[in-house]
Chain A
Amino acid sequence: MDRPQSHTIRDRAAIVGIGQTAFSKFSGVTEERQAAEAITAALDDAGLTLADVDGVARFDIENVNELQLVHGMGIPHLRFFAGVPSGGGAVAGTLVLAAMAVATGQANVVVCYRARNRGKQSSHGAKPLQGGRPWAKHAATLTDFYQYHVPFGLITPAQEMALIYRRHMHEFGTTTEHFGAVAVAQRAHAARNPRAVMRTPLSLADHQASRWIAEPLRMLDCCLETDGACAVIVTSAARARDCRQPPAYLLAGAQAEGPIHIRMADYLMHWQDHTAGAFVAEQLYGMAGVTARDVDAAMLFDHFAPAVILSLEDYGFCARGEGGPFVASGAHAWPHGSIPVNTHGGSLSEAYIHGYNHILEGVRQIRGTSSCQVENCEIVLVTSSNTDPTGGVLLRR
């Protein structure tokens, strides 16, 4: 597609601040408190203050909203606020929104964040998405698309994803040892990361011995359940150069869904060439004028270990169906792999902040401050959940 460069978001915005709370299994504080901590930390990192903020981009299921930010934290006023749907599919989309806002002058400084109490003990309120497990809160009657799978006992994300990964195993010969190669490498990354919740080394044997959750998924294929918050500050490329930290420029950003996606089942019908992730990749690389070979590190949404295998295929790091052998070769493992993935430990071992901690690690790689730093890291891919309407961004130095 021919488009004048100035009409895209390419290089027009940058992440200038990152902030987070401690990650834990039980924070003992509210999501609102965690959001406040992460946002102020991100502003401090950028050398900005709450008075500079005039925009917000967030997950639409985020519990901490604009009212709480303005009236609770004392942001003077907002002139841009927006949310991205689809849970973990929203990660990169929030950055796309923020970049669009600063590129068009709708906002100067946009805060993007995710605050989440999902540790088992965290029940601060009874909202469906607050604390605990959303799937455990189905009503006695089903009025939406849940009626086509919940009555059959297909309830949890792990169960839904298990269907997709089983089919991948059938079509391409992927094995549960391949899933384990993802979990083991990410734990090794987390072992070097003082922020990570799970740092005890993990072997493939440990993975294979862990209990079934929904075959072929084992417990060690599943992301953690974490309390914590992450925030990033996005501003224009011009303003970014005056901030405290080296900018991580948004080289490209995209969202995608399609062509058909009724929950997870239709994902299975089209994945050879039509996954939403592959469509994001096409847009990202087209906007940036790069290929997968130019990407130095990838922070891939990993609600379950095999999601990394599918994303490596979607984003062109290996051919469709070759993701299993690709991770078995160690291609995703820092420091020797060709494309180090989730160098912070990801959702499997650092924390599950709905994928938002992946953005922070992407920025650290660009700054050169990761605990698993990729040498001469110039371009980093960060993705949203690839089994939802999804998205991705390319960050550059």
Chain B
Amino acid sequence: MTPSIPTPVPNADNQGFWDACARGELCLQRCTACAAWRHPPRPMCPRCHSLASEWALASGRGVVHTFTIVHRPTLPAFEARLPYNVVVVRLDEGPLMVSNLLACRNDAIHIGMPVVVTFTPLTDTIALPQFRPQASP
């Protein structure tokens, strides 16, 4: 049996993020006092220190900010896909998000590349926000 990927367990601070992912929507936390976007979710706005926030639908678009191509060693659950990429996406709304770039050869990945979100189910209630290259205009 293939070892399974460690699975996120939502909590009171990030339930909205994971619920949206399961629906196929990228929702980010946005401060209702100063309108600043933030990710990963956290209770307080680091900009204005408000505890009030909402889950706002994001564009799902961004650019590759940095990336790595992973070789051994890694967790057994990921060995079948070696070598694989991990990207940090700078979302159009501002925050950075760790993810993977699908439908793209590892040697074609470059910083600044426009990408768009796509969702991959992990369990019945958790889907991972991953990315693919934006189609050429």
- Which residues of A are at the interface with B, using a C-beta cutoff of 8 A? 133, 135-136, 138-143, 145-156, 159, 162-164, 166-167, 170, 211-217, 260, 262, 265-266, 268-269
Contacts and interface: CB of A to CB of B under 8 A. Distances in A.
B88 A212 contact: no
Contacts of B11: 143
Nearest to B94: A269
A214 B69 contact: yes
B7 A140 contact: yes
Given A142-B7, A147-B8, A153 B78 contact: yes
Contacts of A162: 68
B16 to A, nearest CB: 14
Given A148-B98, A153-B100, A265-B98, A159 B68 contact: yes
B68 A148 contact: no
Contacts, number: 111
Interface in B81-121: 81, 83-84, 86, 88, 96-100, 111
A151 B6 contact: yes
Nearest to A164: B66
A163 B88 contact: yes
B7 A268 contact: no
A86 B103 CA distance: 37
Nearest to A167: B66
Given A145-B40, A214-B70, A155 B99 contact: no
A140 B68 contact: no
8 closest residue pairs by CB, A with B: A147-B8, A162-B68, A167-B66, A215-B69, A149-B98, A212-B71, A153-B78, A148-B40
Would you call the interface of chain A mostly helix, strand, loop, or mixed?
Answer: mixed
Given A149-B98, A167-B65, A167-B111, A136 B75 contact: yes
Interface of B: 4-9, 11, 14, 40, 42, 46, 65-75, 78, 81, 83-84, 86, 88, 96-100, 111, 122, 128, 130
A164 B96 CA distance: 13
A152 B99 contact: yes
Nearest to B67: A166
A170 B112 CA distance: 10
Contact of B6 (A140, A159, A164, A211): A140
A156 B74 contact: yes
A313 to B, nearest CB: 17
Contact of A159 (B7, B81, B86, B97): B86
B9 A268 contact: no
Nearest to B99: A152
Contact of A139 (B6, B78, B88, B98): B6
Nearest to A136: B75
B31 to A, nearest CB: 14
A154 B98 contact: yes
Contacts of A136: 73, 75
A215 to B, nearest CB: 4
B6 A146 contact: yes
Contacts of A141: 6-9
